[in-house]
Structure 1
């Protein structure tokens, strides 16, 4: 009898321990997988979110996206071209080595390398100089009106760790280079990497020596990519996973009515748009030979006006999108100006007329590249666009691929038309201007101009707005940038997507408009 009671007590203790452990593990699923663990090799949101659990910035974001101290405790602008930062004392990397000014300087130089996808932001930070072990001075070559926003893109890496592991060079993701930093990590953040199996499972554990405050109770993160919307939804409903960052819009009503599941909703700072090849003399993946119809602005306008954006919003996105005429992540970036936000009208007859004027009365064939696991309804949007363009004679072959292959393809400019998204925590238009609106050049300028258009007028306007310190003069330049883009239709805007998250009812998360899950704020309650 005594033995039986002891056994029952042991089982009860085991069950209690298991419940506690389960309550402290966040089982997270998403359609895609982080592309790389090298924090500079890809500037992609999900990848950044996971790297952000391990690596930290000098200046971070709070729940409302306001800038707050992180690895820097204070900073000041000494002059128009000089900033000084004081580093937080006592911070250690996961391998136990202390954070110093040398790590900041190393990180900046590494992020400037040609293979870095944040080079355009790193170069905007100028040169870093060590004042003492915990003081860094940034000297800029020209004024930068959003310097602090750019500082928030630079993860700080350990110089000695990178040197010891031959990881001083940013991974060349486009050329499928493998590197130590792509599969291993060493940051100062609240979580440490335990294991990484790309496209299968990635596991993190809480950093027991974290310098800061962890408000949530998560001890372990287990991330599993589940491409299928139906399978991902089923896993959440059954309780196999606790959290889904990207539930399918068509499943939201069902999930909201499911016991034990809740929806956490909010708009995202992300614009979805189309890029078009305007660089080649002959269009790829087309039946048009010897010329490129996308070089003609009339063709670009025709494709734009053939898009029924209201149907996409209402029928495909279930209302979870906000159509826009401005290729900028946030309406704050377009100055909340209705004229800048105004779309070209949906008009099939006008589109056919423009195509005929351009010499394509019967239309032409083209390929539309898109991801199938990156943006909300990405493949279905592309299929819908193809059907709408068919009405004006443009026969479109949709090439939908997982985001790793898609990004690699588009990065090499191996595309005719591609659907892309851009967003994050920065609401200023500079977050997209220099990377997308400028002619392709050195140091990351025009890096994401994957249509390879050359527009010297637009390039000059963006360059001027990037260094104009006077707010009123800068607003004038920003409006001119948007006006030029609207005239030339280098990009076709679609919408800003909303981001509903789905979670088990015992999981409390903080929804941020940059679609960033900060796991140190997450609480998983015992069931």
Structure 2
């Protein structure tokens, strides 16, 4: 895949950040054009999708969610956390927080946003009865109340210096107090939902009363769920779609050579993982998990499947570009002898295991699994790749089989540790539990000194590297593609499709 320019990863990140800051709103800010219909062909939707933010698992839900609703805070493409519906916030001890809510912001039904709406939206995700995927994040709040018409006061169970990032989680949409009609989602966002057919399509119209004057340029949006990569590319090439996500990496060079199309590359925005269930045999044995880690040829996955568009993972979820990254850990490589040693320690001469995979997790999931299978045999590990359909994978297979594929977007470090590995988290996909890990995580969240917090988070990475349930071979760059008539499409460190916010950020030039 030599068609890609040679640029080291940190150099690429610096260049991308500079482009994100200078190009779209520097080069285009004076000329955004209102109007037109934006057509998006998207992977990441299925027939069991709901627009209840508590149930968000896939990108179609997220993209619709942030088009219809706003959040208290927003993460810009360069990673900066900025106010959205929370105009400002303050805390002197990282336990007690005061949020001042923006005034004169109308919901689509005409109601004006106030503190009670924010409290209701927060409480959807916390408490014993909550079904939210972000429950473990919001249960950190022990008290929350509307202390004034446009002021929310909350208290945490322990100090968390980075707690405001919680409100950028993709579940954290703000809806009117008492709202329950999730099939007809309303919010304060730039677009009003016209219709939504799960796993098929969504249609949205521009909100004429949107409180942001510099967003939501397109008049109408038609989003079509297109999980097949070839069909998405065909839609873009034929002009029936203006934007597609999850571009097949094999065709990226073609897009880069096209005069009518453009590649949009979001660096290191996701890590891919093979989940070893902690509550099932044989993956509850750490020697088996270690064997699976050493039996994974991650360099082959990076080179063959990803065309070098990413970086090596080291079996913990913190990317090499994070300020908290523990670079002192030995980089794990394919080592058949060490894999066999761990199998022997587990009392096994060889290991036979089904690996459940699906394009629902990522477009390259099947290819990654097949590379894993082809290499692991030399380490005494016989993997049987079981391909599942994208529709229903997250409800029928994920968290229900001993060895499965998953993927995670970049999140703040404390959220990543809490959601994926915290004991009792509803999204602890491996059911892993480690008392020392939980204690260190609580300590790290409450540590206001950055260097001390970095040391603690480094130790958490070491625990996951040596004992954890995840084989994390690579951090992947997300690839979208757009027609050149689409302007203002910024790559984001959060995820693809401009951190899910592509609908309100772009405009059309014919």
TM-score range, shorter chain: 0.7 to 0.9
- Name the residue aligned to 1:499: 478
Take 1:71 and 1:459, find their aligned partners in 2: how far apart are those partners? 32
- 1:101 has 2:115 as partner: yes
State the shift of 1:57 in Å. 1.3
Take 1:343 and 1:423, find their aligned partners in 2: how far apart are those partners? 22
- 1:337 has 2:326 as partner: yes
- Name the residue aligned to 1:383: 370
Distance 1:264 1:453, change over 3 A: closer
- 1:418 has 2:404 as partner: yes
Take 1:131 and 1:451, find their aligned partners in 2: how far apart are those partners? 39
- Name the residue aligned to 2:348: 360
Take 1:195 and 1:46, find their aligned partners in 2: how far apart are those partners? 14
Structure 1: give runs of 5+ residues left out of the alignment. Answer: 1-20, 168-179, 281-291
Q: Deviations over 1:395-450 (max 9, x none)?
A: 32323334452211355x311111211124x3x321211122222x2xxxx33322
Q: Secondary structure at the match of 2:53?
A: coil
Q: Deviations over 1:320-361 (max 9, x none)?
A: 121121522533546243224x43221123322332332221
Count, aligned residues: 467
Question: Counterparts in 2 of 1:21-420, with a 5 A limit?
Answer: 24-33=36-45, 35-112=49-126, 113-153=129-169, 154-160=172-178, 162=179, 167=180, 180-181=181-182, 183-215=183-215, 217-280=217-280, 292-333=281-322, 335-340=324-329, 342-361=330-349, 363-410=350-397, 413-420=399-406
Take 1:104 and 1:23, find their aligned partners in 2: how far apart are those partners? 31
Q: Deviations over 1:282-332 (max 9, x none)?
A: xxxxxxxxxx23232222111111111111111111111211215225335
Q: Deviations over 1:58-108 (max 9, x none)?
A: 222223221222112222225442211222111111111111111111111
Take 2:322 and 2:111, find their aligned partners in 1: how far apart are those partners? 40
TM-score (norm 1): 0.83
Q: Secondary structure at the match of 1:391?
A: helix
Structure 2: give runs of 5+ residues left out of the alignment. Answer: 1-32
- Name the residue aligned to 1:522: 506
Take 1:490 and 1:352, find their aligned partners in 2: how far apart are those partners? 18
Report if the CA contact (8 A) 1:125-1:147 is conserved: no
Take 1:333 and 1:296, find their aligned partners in 2: how far apart are those partners? 30
Take 2:92 and 2:374, find their aligned partners in 1: how far apart are those partners? 56
RMSD: 2.2
Distance 1:44 1:469, change over 3 A: farther
Q: Secondary structure at the match of 2:124?
A: helix
Distance 1:337 1:69, change over 3 A: same
Greater radius of gyration (CA):
1
Report if the CA contact (8 A) 2:421-2:433 is conserved: no
Take 1:395 and 1:274, find their aligned partners in 2: how far apart are those partners? 15
Report if the CA contact (8 A) 1:226-1:232 is conserved: yes
State the shift of 1:466 in Å. 2.5
TM-score (norm 2): 0.86
Report if the CA contact (8 A) 2:94-2:446 is conserved: no
- Name the residue aligned to 2:16: none
